[in-house]
Every structure is written in structure tokens, then in C-alpha cells.
Amino acid sequence: MRLGVLDIGSNTVHLLLVDAHPGARPIPFTSHKQPLQLIQFLDDDGSISDAGQRKLIEFVGEAATLAREHQAEDMMAFATSAIREARNGPAVLERVFAETGTQLIELSGPDEAAATFLAVRRWYGWASGAILNLDIGGGSFELAMGANEQPQVALSLPLGAGRLTRDFLHEDPPTAKSIKAARKHVRAVLDEPIAEIQRLGAPTIVSATSKSFSSLARLAGSAPRADGPYVRRELRLHDLALWAGRLSAMASDDRSELPGVSAVRSRQLLAAALVAQTALEGLGVESVHICPWALREGLLLRRFDHLTAAQPAAGH
């Protein structure tokens, strides 16, 4: 069964098509993505501008056409914090549907955290015990923890790398004063969520998903993406702190020359490092495992489970 998932994120819009079979891992068939930082298309009142809407509609139309051409039997399309928190989010969703015929589902922050957690659980398996997963997006930062496929706690915080850059790190490179203010803000927002996570006890494994964590791990010496998904990748707090300091002194153009750092995300990478470092320090975590599966895979797994459960059993 060929399934598709269309992800409208804060930094990119991404269509992933996979072939899924009962009892087997989903196998990527093809993908199509484009940088589209919707957060850069916000008007003064927090609405997505007409220019941003037109770019979004163009990509959604391309994605729907590609899914049809490759005979996808089912395609989910969802939007995360960029649409969720825009002042005109509901109107944007209506316009996208009217002009493309594709219905974008607005994911809540906790549901985003829970779907990502499902992907991480399936990747590491039951032997991994209690998992704590961290995910830094452009608009939000998700934390989820639990010992089953559904987390006991699933949190979404307004600490995305794009948001933090926009609100605090205006200069390029940023000033020491702005970095200090950003750190103070992150600590304040994380204070109670960290306490809530810690009340669950110590996790067996701490994992991290998202392009932000992958890029930071690559800077710290983990294997490049070309080595494949099964290579063990890890990000240590010690290395993260060193790189947070280095990134603080670099302009975005210089960051984009670093291994694993795209020009699109170079401006936001310092903010991601500040959030990651503050979270790990607050949680008392010395290192995280980088998981190759994340939100898109979690939603595909959830959808495939639903579709196979609805099929009649053999012989009936």
C-alpha cells in the first residue's frame, strides 16, 4: 500500500510517499520538499500574507499531483504551528482546500508530540523502556515521555527555533545581550514542563528528532546523512555547549558553510542550540540519541494501523 503524508511545517513543506505492508517497516518511495518559512510571511497582526498563502497553495497543488502520479492510495495532509498559531489560520486552510481540493488537518501541539513519540517508540522498540523524546521545530518545541506507544506526557512549547530567532536574535550575528535575553526566556518557559517530565522518573533512553537536532549532532561529529539511518548518532551536552558558544559568534552566512547546515536553517541554528542546551541541562541529561523517524513517520504509522485494522481478516 502506497501512502503519502504532506507536512506543512514552519521551515519546509514536505511530501513523503512510502510503501507500507503489514508487519514491515514503511519503505520510503519518494519525497518532494521545498523551503517555505511561513513564519517569514507573517504580517504585523500575525496573519499569513497573501504572498505566503500563494506559495503554500502552489506547493500543495504540486504535492497532490505528485501523489496521484505515483498512485498513492491514501494521502494525509497536515499543518503544524505555522498555521495553528497564525491569526488567519482557519481562513488559510479554507483557501487551500478551495483552490487545491486538499484538506489540511491542523494538528494540535500535544498531538504533534504524541505522533512523533509513536515513531520513536516503533524505531527503538519495547526494549528501550521509558522514552523521553525532544523535538525542535521552527515554531514549537515538543517533549513527550512514556513507556508505551502513547506518551504519559506530551507537551508543546512556543520555543521553536524560528520563533526564538524572530523574537530575540534580530542581529546577525546576534549581540551578547540578545543571547542572554533568549536564554533567560527559554529557562523561564521550560521551568514547569521540565518539572512535570521529571515527576515521571528517569527515562531509559532520551532521544531527539527534527532537523535541528540532526544538524547539531552533525556539527558535533556524528555521521553524515549519506551514511544511512542505521548508523548510531548521538549529541552530547558537552559538545552542544561548545557549539552554542561558537555559533553565537558566527553570522548566518558562515554557519551555512558548516557540515550539515543548510542556508535555510543557518539563521535559526543558534536558537535551536540554546533551546537544546537549556533543556538538557534542566533535565539533567548528558546525551541524546538522534532518531531518524519523526512526525511524518508517526502519522504514517498511525494511519497505516487504522487502515489495516479496518480491513476484514483473511478468510472472512
d(CA 133, CA 117): 7
Domains of the chain: 2-107 (3.30.420.40), 109-296 (3.30.420.150)
Percentages of the chain per state (helix, strand, coil), in multiples of 5: 50, 20, 30
Residue-by-residue pLDDT tens, the chain, 316 positions? 899 999 998 888 899 999 988 778 889 999 998 888 887 898 989 999 999 999 999 999 999 999 999 999 989 999 988 898 899 999 999 999 999 999 999 999 999 999 999 999 999 999 999 999 999 999 999 999 999 999 999 999 999 999 999 999 999 999 999 999 999 999 999 999 999 999 999 999 999 999 999 999 999 999 999 999 999 999 999 999 999 999 999 999 999 999 999 888 899 999 999 999 999 999 999 999 999 999 999 998 998 887 777 666 555 4
| N residues, the chain | 316
Q: How many angstroms separate the CA atoms of 150 and 17, rounded?
A: 24
